[in-house]
Amino acid sequence: MKKTLWLFGNWKMNHGPAAAEKFFSEWKQLRQQPFAAGIQVTLFVPAVSLAAARDAAAKFDSAVRIGAQNAHWEKSGAFTGELSGPLLQEIGVRDVLIGHSERRQFFGETNESVRKRTEGLLEQGFRVTLCIGENRAEREAGKTKQILLEQLGAVFTSSAGNEPAVCSRYLDQRLLIAYEPVWAIGTGLTATPAQAQEAHSWIREFLAEKCGKDAAAKTPILYGGSVNPGNVETLMSQQDIDGALVGGASLKPADWNSLVLGASKVL
Ligand code: PEP
């Protein structure tokens, strides 16, 4: 039994404002009862849909949060195409997804830029979901653990050799880690529950080593990669899996509603 389950959806480059409103009105028809206690839902939507999704979510259930899919570490400036913390705060957005593999793969995001975004946004008061994960070649070469530790290590660094600032200041459930094997994202291939649990246990060990056991135990670690209503319960029952980051199955209200219901069985 778990006390809290973090169910996060990533709409990627789908659902404009009208589609966002439609999503929530259809979900309202489908949902028969409020979420089980302990369910935390956030949907990361395209920038242009943030305000519409925020309003529709507030009418649907004030517990549903709306987040941005990326944001810059600087508060303002000459960064064409980027969103900043203050711009998001102005419209009431408090969640940001950082380091998604599609940003790393297609838009040149590096461990260093991911660190800057994570630190900058945590500093500005956001809740950050930091994505990490190995690609297929890295898994096949037996390098999964090494890659995860490198990606985490880039964020949990301390120039002074002390405990990294992230530990003492942000491991209060304001930093969540999403383990997303790149080969499982949008492919229909899911990590087996054992593969996912193993990776999550490495992440938990890393956090314990850097920040202590308490902080590690409190940090939500989400699994992402072709999670759907049929596999969510088994994945969520793994000891170190505290939630899911879901792409495709978060786009249709019927799938998303069944996924939330399925996951709720582990609470
Ligand atoms: C994602 O976009 O983070 C993701 C996990 O996508 P999917 O669920 O479609 O694999």
Q: Which DSSP symbol is given to 222?
A: E
pLDDT the model gives residue 160: 66
Q: Which atom of ligand 1 is nearest to the CA of 250?
A: 8
Residue nearest to ligand 1 atom 1, measured at CA: 247
Residue nearest to ligand 1 atom 8, measured at CA: 247
Q: Which of 154-163, 210-219, 246-255 has the highest mean pLDDT?
A: 246-255
Are 196 and 183 in contact by the 8 Å Cβ rule? The answer is no
Determine which of 22-26, 53-57, 163-167 has the lowest per-residue pLDDT on average.
Answer: 163-167
Mean pLDDT of 126-145: 97
Q: What's the CA gap between 182 and 186, in Å, rounded?
A: 9
Among 97, 100, 241, 246, the mutation site with the greatest number of ligand 1 atoms within 8 A of its Cβ is: 246
| Chain segment 192-218, per-residue pLDDT in tens | 999 999 999 999 999 999 888 999 999
Nearest partner of 181 among 157, 153, 202, 209, judged by Cα: 202
pLDDT the model gives residue 134: 98
pLDDT at 171 over 90: no
Mean pLDDT of 228-233: 97
pLDDT at 144 over 80: yes
Q: Which DSSP symbol is given to 34?
A: P
Among 14, 105, 185, the mutation site with the greatest number of ligand 1 atoms within 8 A of its Cβ is: 185
Give the position of tokens 């956090």: 207
246 lines ligand 1 (CB under 6 A): yes
Are 216 and 196 in contact by the 8 Å Cβ rule? The answer is no
pLDDT the model gives residue 161: 66
Q: What's the CA gap between 116 and 114, in Å, rounded?
A: 5
Q: What's the CA gap between 233 and 238, in Å, rounded?
A: 9
pLDDT at 73 over 70: yes
pLDDT at 50 over 70: yes
pLDDT the model gives residue 159: 63
pLDDT the model gives residue 167: 82
pLDDT at 255 over 70: yes
Q: Supply 35's token pair.
A: 């979420």
CA distances from 145 to 135, 195, 204 (A): 12, 11, 12
pTM score, whole prediction: 0.97
| Chain segment 98-117, per-residue pLDDT in tens | 999 999 999 999 999 999 99
Tell me whether residue 38 is exposed, middle or buried, using C-beta atoms within 10 angstroms of its C-beta: 0 to 12, 13 to 18, 19 or more: middle
